[in-house]
Amino acid sequence: MSSKTTDYGIEKSLENLGISQQNNGVSSGGSYFASGDMLESYSPTDGKLIAEIKTASAEDYTKVIETAKAAYKEFRMIPSPKRGELVRQFGLKLREYKDDLGKLVSYEMGKSLQEGLGEVQEMIDICDFAVGLSRQLHGYTMHSERPGHRMYEQYHPLGIVGIISAFNFPVAVWSWNTALSWMCGNVTVWKPSEKTPLCAIACQNIISEVLKENNLPEGISSMIVGDHKIGEQLVNDKNIALVSFTGSTRVGRIVGKNVAERFGKSILELGGNNAIIITENADLDMSVIGAVFGAVGTAGQRCTSTRRLIIHESVYDEVKNRLVKAYGQLKIGNPLDENNHVGPLIDKDAVAQYLNSIEKCKKEGGTFAVEGGLLEGEDYSSGCYVKPCIAEVENSYEIVQHETFAPILYLIKYKALDEAIALQNDVPQGLSSAIMTQNLREAELFLSQAGSDCGIANVNIGTSGAEIGGAFGGEKETGGGRESGSDVWKYYMRRQTNTINYTTSLPLAQGIKFDL
Q: Report the relative pairing of strands 389-392 and 408-414 from DSSP bridges.
A: parallel
Q: Could you tell me which residues come within 8 angstroms of residue 243 by beta carbon, excluding any fewer than 6 positions away? A: 161, 162, 164, 234, 235, 255, 259, 264, 265, 266, 267
Closest CA to 200 of 220, 237, 238, 226: 226
Which 8-state DSSP code applies to residue 406?
S
What residues pair up with 49 in beta bridges, in sequence order? Answer: 42
Q: Rounded to whole angstroms, how far apart are CA atoms 182 and 158? A: 11
- The reply to whether 203 belongs to the active site is no
Q: Which of 127, 303, 361, 454 is catalytic?
A: 303
Q: Which of 194, 269, 477, 483 is catalytic?
A: 269
Q: Is 137 helix (H, G, I), strand (E, B) or coil?
A: coil
- Strand, helix or coil at 123? helix
Query: 507: phi > 0 → left, psi -120 to 50 → alpha, else beta; which?
Result: beta
373-374 and 31-32 beta bridge pairing: unpaired
Closest Cα partner for 298 from 42, 112, 457, 446?
112
What is the layout of strands, in order, in the sheet containing 38-42?
Answer: 22-24, 49-54, 38-42
Beta strands per DSSP E along 86-232? 141-143, 149-157, 160-164, 187-191, 221-224
Residue 477 annotated among the catalytic residues of the structure: no
Q: How far apart are alpha carbons 370 and 341 in whole angstroms?
A: 17
Summarize the chain as % helix, strand, coil (round to 5).
Answer: 40, 20, 35
CA-based nearest residue to 206, from 193, 195, 190, 194 = 190
How far apart (Å, rounded) are the C-alpha atoms in residues 265 and 242?
A: 5
Q: What torsion do the CA atoms of 207, 210, 216, 221 make, to the nearest 10 degrees?
A: -10
The beta strand positions in 192-305, using DSSP E, are 221-224, 240-246, 265-269, 274-278
- Active site residues per annotation: 269, 303
